[in-house]
Amino acid sequence: MFYARDIYGQTLVELGKKNPDIVVLDADLSGSTRTKLFAKEFPNRFFNFGVAEQNMAATAAGLASCGKIVFISTFAMFATGRAWDQVRNTVCYNNFNIKIVASHAGISVGPDGASHQAVEDIAIMRAIPNITIVVPCDGPETKEAVIAAANTPGPFYIRLGRAKVPTLENKKTFKLGKGYVLEDGNDASIIACGMMVKYAQEAAELLKKEGISARVINIHTIKPLDNQIIIQAAKETKGIVVCEEHAVVGGLASALDDIVLENHPVKVLRVGIKNRFGQSGEIEELFKEYNLTTKDIVKTVKEVLR
């Protein structure tokens, strides 16, 4: 079990030791996002902007124009929502080397409630050209994603949660833009990102006991999407269930639908947040309330095969 943000902070320190061009910015949440680990190690390469996310994002562009690799962090809500125009016009239009690594995405934020639970962030980032979007499923994958972002020119959005997450088994080597099969199967496909990958794995286990063979795919890179693995799943299985801790509008499911429709139409059903805001509660309660549990995935797979 790891906090992805712990791994993020530690990885930043490792990267900072190797590359003097790495600069980190935060907006008064360096304790929560763990950029404070970098701040402690490299005080001259860390800037806290206070509660001013728009300024942080546009300042990152000025730094990047001078050759810096700039990581900016705050909660997903504010990094993508509050600073959207800055991210669109000043980060992405300039195609700068800026890595937005946001924590506290999704309803797994828990008790803080709807104002802090970003469930539209992938949708609003995905609409912008030039940006790469990664949603890691666990601690080790977070590390790989952050390293890949540092080594790949251009803007990135890496989406992390607040909660401690288990480390997954059977993972393949992380390759940007490439999904991979975690469990093979040929009745239905379950395609998931982030925290939902673990539940997808559990759902496949339960389905197996009922004689249903489900393929589980971890699709950590939402943009650019791995079309090939999706088309293959559409061709080789009878239907697809997409699982994301995000609104069903504009996220992974929407992106996947486009590919399936254009290439090999099959039935696609969604496990995600359906046109609702989040609310306060413990993670398990919330996942139940918003139908994001293992049981919900099992049910939806049966539906897709009906």
Closest CA to 146 of 33, 265, 261: 33
In whole angstroms, the minimum distance from the beta carbon of 277 to another protein comes to 25
Tell me if 30 contacts another protein by CB under 8 A.
no
Task: Report the half-sphere exposure of 247 (CA within 13 A, side-chain side).
Answer: 16
Give the Cα separation of 25 and 205 in Å (integer).
Answer: 42
- Among the listed residues 8, 49, 71, 199, the single contact to another protein using CB under 8 A: 49
In whole angstroms, the minimum distance from the beta carbon of 157 to another protein comes to 19
Tell me if 93 contacts another protein by CB under 8 A.
yes
Token representation of residue 265: 């139409």
Give the Cα separation of 163 and 153 in Å (integer).
Answer: 29
Residue type, 252: L
Contact region for another protein (CB under 8 A) — 49-57, 154-162, 245-253, 268-276?
49-57
DSSP 118: B
Tell me if 103 contacts another protein by CB under 8 A.
no
Q: Is residue 210 helix, strand or coil? A: coil
Contact region for another protein (CB under 8 A) — 60-68, 109-117, 185-193, 294-302?
60-68
Residue type, 228: Q
Which residue bears the tokens 């982030």? 194
Q: Is residue 48 helix, strand or coil? A: strand
Spell out the alpha helix ranges (H) of 34-187: 36-41, 53-65, 76, 84-85, 121-126, 139-151
Tell me if 80 contacts another protein by CB under 8 A.
no
- Among the listed residues 44, 173, 210, 306, the single contact to another protein using CB under 8 A: 44
Give the Cα separation of 233 and 181 in Å (integer).
Answer: 10
- Among the listed residues 85, 169, 258, 303, the single contact to another protein using CB under 8 A: 85
Which residue bears the tokens 């990152």? 60
Tell me if 63 contacts another protein by CB under 8 A.
yes
Active-site residue flag, 53: yes
Q: How many helices and strands in the chain, by DSSP H and E?
A: 13, 14
Residues that bind another protein (rule: CB under 8 A) add up to a total of: 29
DSSP 67: T
- Among the listed residues 10, 86, 97, 221, the single contact to another protein using CB under 8 A: 86
Tell me if 300 contacts another protein by CB under 8 A.
no
Tell me if 47 contacts another protein by CB under 8 A.
yes
In whole angstroms, the minimum distance from the beta carbon of 229 to another protein comes to 34
Could you tell me if 48 and 183 are in contact, meaning their C-beta atoms sit under 8 angstroms apart? no
For residues 63 and 222, which CB has a smaller minimum distance to another protein in the complex? Answer: 63
Tell me if 43 contacts another protein by CB under 8 A.
no
Tell me if 82 contacts another protein by CB under 8 A.
no
φ/ψ of 223, rounded to 5, equals -145, 125
Contact region for another protein (CB under 8 A) — 57-65, 174-182, 274-282, 289-297?
57-65
For residues 68 and 198, which CB has a smaller minimum distance to another protein in the complex? Answer: 68
Tell me if 55 contacts another protein by CB under 8 A.
yes
Give the Cα separation of 49 and 28 in Å (integer).
Answer: 7
Could you tell me if 55 and 83 are in contact, meaning their C-beta atoms sit under 8 angstroms apart? no
Contact region for another protein (CB under 8 A) — 88-96, 108-116, 190-198, 213-221?
88-96
Residue ranges binding another protein (CB under 8 A): 23, 44-45, 47, 49-50, 52, 54-55, 57-68, 85-86, 88-90, 93-95
Which residues are known to be catalytic? 53
